Amino acid sequence: MKKIKVFDVREDEQVALQQWIERHADEVEVILTEDSLEGVHLEQLEDIDGVTLSQMTPINPEYFKALAQNGIYHIAQRSAGFDMYDLPAANEAGIKISNVPSYSPQSIAEFAVTRTLALVRHTNRIDRNVAVQDFTWDLSVQGRTIESLKIGVLGTGRIGSRAAKIFNGFGAQVYAYDLEPNPELEGILTYVDSLEDLVKDIDVLTLHIPGSPENKHVVNEAVLSQAKPGLLVINTARGVVLDTEALIRKLDDGTVAGAAIDTYENEGPFFKYDWTNKPLEDSVLSHLLEHENVLISPHVAFYTDEAVQNLVDIPLDDVLSYIHNQTADHIVNP
């Protein structure tokens, strides 16, 4: 019987994993481990036919050669992002990488809107005041309505299009920039010709583009400098698309009034881990955490029951497909 090894198993994946295992009990054995793929594991794969990972930190390119030597030519990543893989090195070793391009776009879109609401209604500050029994009103908690805002959506794929529809449902004016405009969004939003045109007259910029090399720091100081003072920035995409240090400078000079950061470009060592009472040793992240007008969440925009189910089922289906047919539906380096 073929064997699949599942690395980085989280508690929240257990139910979905057991359901998948039961459905395929007659054709494959599944081995679960909470460990991430490290060098020591490469010596334990002789009888393994496929693997799936959920690592957020870079994968050592030398691992590809070791996997190939064990007859494993496919890795199923349990996330949409795959920037932790050196794809040229994977290609050189003959390793195919697959991802989960869409596991719950609605979850992420709703979270982006939720964080926008939190910023415009100052709910974080209100909660802090009430926690110390300060029930006063002042300008610091006076908010705005979503319908009064101009929303800028960068990227109108599966997630961005849904966010645009939700904001439109609130009555906001929605604008967007995308290299490939979606004709189905006519009447929902208005496309502009450049990112600079998008930011110059909006109140909220919400990011929904992939973390590809060409998108690294696409939202940078030059772009943010085009905004009118008071811009809110929402990033539920990949951390790398936003130049975090530039964002901090624009927060400090008042161009950006607030930000909600669910992904951080150097999040690997921190997000998903408990750093209580430990020094972060990351001055940029520390600065963000200390900033009164920044909301940080640890890459949880996707984190719903529906998303976890899909993040288990789709990669395991791909692993099984590759074992049987040497191909899978979601390979990113064909």
The first and second tokens of residue 175, run together, are 């604008």
User: Which residue bears the tokens 């089922």?
Assistant: 313
CA 195/CA 206 separation, integer angstroms: 12
Q: What is the dihedral of CA 184, 186, 190, 191, to 10 degrees?
A: 40
Q: Under the phi-then-psi rule, with left for phi > 0, alpha for psi from -120 to 50, and beta for the rest, what region is 222?
A: alpha
Coil, helix or strand at residue 204: strand
The DSSP call for residue 149 is P
Q: Which two structure tokens, joined as six digits, stand for 159?
A: 């997630």
Could you give the CA distance from residue 67 to residue 204 in angstroms, rounded to a whole number? 45
186 catalytic residue (yes or no): no
Q: Which two tokens stand for residue 94?
A: 């003959």
User: Which is the catalytic residue, given 78, 115, 162, 238?
Assistant: 238
- Please identify which of the residues 299, 306, 324, 330 carries the catalytic annotation: 299
Active site residue 267: yes
- Here the tokens at position 187 are 């009447």
DSSP reduced 3-state for 314? helix
Eight-class DSSP state of 173: E
Q: Work out the number of other CB atoms within 10 angstroms of the CB of residue 324.
A: 13
Is 299 one of the catalytic residues?
yes
Q: Could you give the CA distance from residue 74 to residue 64 in angstroms, rounded to a whole number?
A: 9
Q: How many CA atoms lie within 13 A of 35 on its CB side?
A: 12
What is the distance between the alpha carbons of residues 138 and 154, in angstroms, rounded to a whole number?
33
Distance CA(66)–CA(86), nearest Å, equals: 15
DSSP-assigned letter for residue 35: S
Alpha carbons 9 and 32: distance in angstroms, whole number: 7
Q: Which candidate in 122, 208, 267, 330 is catalytic? A: 267
Residues with catalytic roles: 238, 267, 299
